[in-house]
Every structure is written in C-alpha cells, then in structure tokens.
Amino acid sequence: MSSTGRVGADQPPILTFEDVTKRYGDLLALQGVSCQVNRGEVVCMIGPSGSGKSTLLRCANALETLEGGRITFDGADVHAAGGDARKVRQRMGMVFQNFELFPHLTVLRNVTIGPTTVLGLDRAAADARARALLAKVGLSDKAGQHPAALSGGQQQRVAIARALAMEPALMLFDEPTSALDPETIGEVLSVMKALADEGMTMVVVTHEMDFAKRVADWVVVFDQGRVIEQGPPRQIFEAATVQRTREFLSHLGWHGESIAEVAAGE
C-alpha cells in the first residue's frame, strides 16, 4: 500500500481510526480497524453486508461506543472520557440509509432545526441558509412540504441539505442509496458528486461501485470486521492484490468495466 500522491497527504488527517474494536455481545463487529481520512478527500468504504463499514461510521461520531482503539477527529479523541461528543457531531454531517428525516416537520424545518437548536442561529438566518441548500440539492419547490410527500431520492437530498446546514468539516454517508428505488439513485449520487467536486471531505459507505471508482480518492475494503485492503480506486478495482477483494467485486458483477448509469452529473 502506497500513499504517495494521496489527496491531502500534506496535512494531518481529519479523521483517524487506530486499531478500533467494537463488539455486540458475542459478535466482534470491528476487529482492529485502522485507516484515515485526509482533508478534502473522498473515502469510499466497500465490502459485503455486515462487514463493519456502517458500524465504523457510527463509531466515528460517537453514536456507538468502542471496546478498544482510538478514533480522532481533527486531532482530538472522539471517545475521550469527559469529551463532548456533541461538539464532534456538530462538525460531522451524517446521512443515513433510511434518510431519517423528521416526519412532523416540513422540509424547510428539517433543514433549519440543526442550526436553530444547536448553533443558536435565528430563524431568518437559518431559513436563508436552508433555502440556499435546498436550491443546491434541487428542491426549492419542496420547502413547505412534509417528508412523506417526497420520493426517496428527494428525501435523501433533503437529508443531505439538513446535514450541510451545520456547515460540517466532514460528511459521513451511511449507504445513502441502499434504500432507494433504482430510478432515484442517480439524483442522490449526482448531488454527492457535486459536493465532492467542491472539495467536501466525505466518507461514503456504499455498494455503488461505479460511484466509488469515479468519485473516490481512496477506497477501503472491509470483510468480517477487518480492513482487508485499501488504496486508490484504480488499484482496488483494476489490480486488487487481495483475493477476497477480487471475489467480492466479481460477486457484484464487477469486472472492471462501467456497470450502470451512475448519474455523475457531467
């Protein structure tokens, strides 16, 4: 594994995982995971279901506790005793597989609730910020609707706007397209691609291999709670050195060529 030329390598990494261990009862969900995310980098985490990718993401913003190891964000230990998980979470946006929009609030209020309750922004400033973000994800006309009136793809774009409203330093995406109908996956991926192009630091747990290949700067492959391989996408998708990685990719029907239309937007 070589990190020469890795994006953001000239600065200290924004997020590091050092020998992270997580256990659910008898199940060892993470068995000594180490990797890092540099500033401005898009890191895609791939691997079979249940391999620990999503768990690692929830550990990153302290929605889960650790049994061992260390996670640092901007140099500070996320799980330090007496540390303030809320301070970390405010600066890390998170997008969930099932959107998790707040169904009792309008789209606009879903996006403003973070800034108004957590950052103390006044209503007018929060509204202005939210409307700009809704325009950015192409949903200006939905501001007054409730989430239930939106398609899955639209809901997920609102969820992205909601996370961005906190002006995070880092965005975590937990299988953002896994719960979507095929025809709405593209609109979400293109919003994510646009975000990556702006230089947003992103960690994306995904099964969208085409997205990973085209947008990721770095790919981490998980299997059974371990990182089995990591490297730039070209290496992972075209010259994987680990047999298990090749098996996983070919199981998905990946043989190096472009699979589906990934609406990468351009």
- State in angstroms the smallest separation of the CB of 214 from another protein: 27
In the complex with another protein, which residue's Cβ is closer, 98 or 258? 98
Task: Print the binding letters for residues 157-196 with another protein: x by CB under 8 A, - otherwise.
Answer: -----xx--x------------------------------
Does 129 interact with another protein (rule: CB under 8 A)?
A: no
Q: Using the rule CB under 8 A, is 260 a contact of another protein? A: no
Instruction: Name the residue among 73, 95, 100 with its Cα closest to residue 13.
Output: 73
Q: Report the b/e string of 220-246 with b at 16+ CB within 10 A.
A: bbbbebbbbbbbbbebbbeebeeebbe
How many angstroms separate the Cα of 97 from the Cα of each of 49, 77, 90, 228? 13, 26, 19, 24
Site string for another protein, 143-162 (x = CB under 8 A): -----x-------------x
Report the b/e string of 18-27 with b at 16+ CB within 10 A: eebbbeeeee
HEC secondary structure over 112-167: HHHHHHCCCCCHHHHHHHHHHHHHHCCCHHHCCCCHHHCCHHHHHHHHHHHHHCCC
Stretch that binds another protein, among 1-9, 93-101, 131-139, 255-263 (CB under 8 A): 93-101
By CB under 8 A, name the one of 27, 76, 118, 179 that touches another protein. Answer: 118
Closest to another protein by CB, 87 vs 123, is: 87
Identity of the residue, 101 or 228, whose beta carbon is nearer to another protein in the bound complex: 101
Nearest to 192 by CA among 225, 223, 164: 164
Does the protein bind another protein through residue 120 (CB under 8 A)? no
Nearer to another protein, 146 or 244 (CB): 146
96 is a site residue for another protein (CB under 8 A): yes
Binding of another protein at residue 89 (CB under 8 A)? yes
> Which residues, including other chains, have CB under 8 Å from residue 77's CB and lie 6 or more apart?
70, 71, 83
Could you tell me if 217 and 231 are in contact, meaning their C-beta atoms sit under 8 angstroms apart? no
Query: Interface with another protein includes 65 (CB under 8 A)?
Result: no
Q: Which of 28, 113, 169, 264 binds another protein (CB under 8 A)?
A: 113
Among residues 35, 77, 251, 61, the alpha carbon closest in space to that of 163 is found at 61
140 binds another protein (CB under 8 A): no
Contact (Cβ atoms closer than 8 angstroms) between residue 117 and residue 198: no
Q: Which is nearer to another protein, 34 or 90 (CB)?
A: 90
Q: Of 44, 49, 51, which Cα lies nearest the Cα of 29?
A: 51
Please pick, from the candidates 3, 65, 98, 241, the single residue that binds another protein as defined by CB under 8 A. Answer: 98
Of 61, 177, 206, 245, which lies in the binding site for another protein, with binding defined by CB under 8 A? Answer: 61
Measured from the CB of residue 89, what is the shortest distance to another protein in angstroms?
A: 5
Residues that bind another protein (CB under 8 A): 58, 61, 63, 86-87, 89-90, 92-94, 96, 98, 100-104, 113-114, 117-118, 148, 162-163, 166
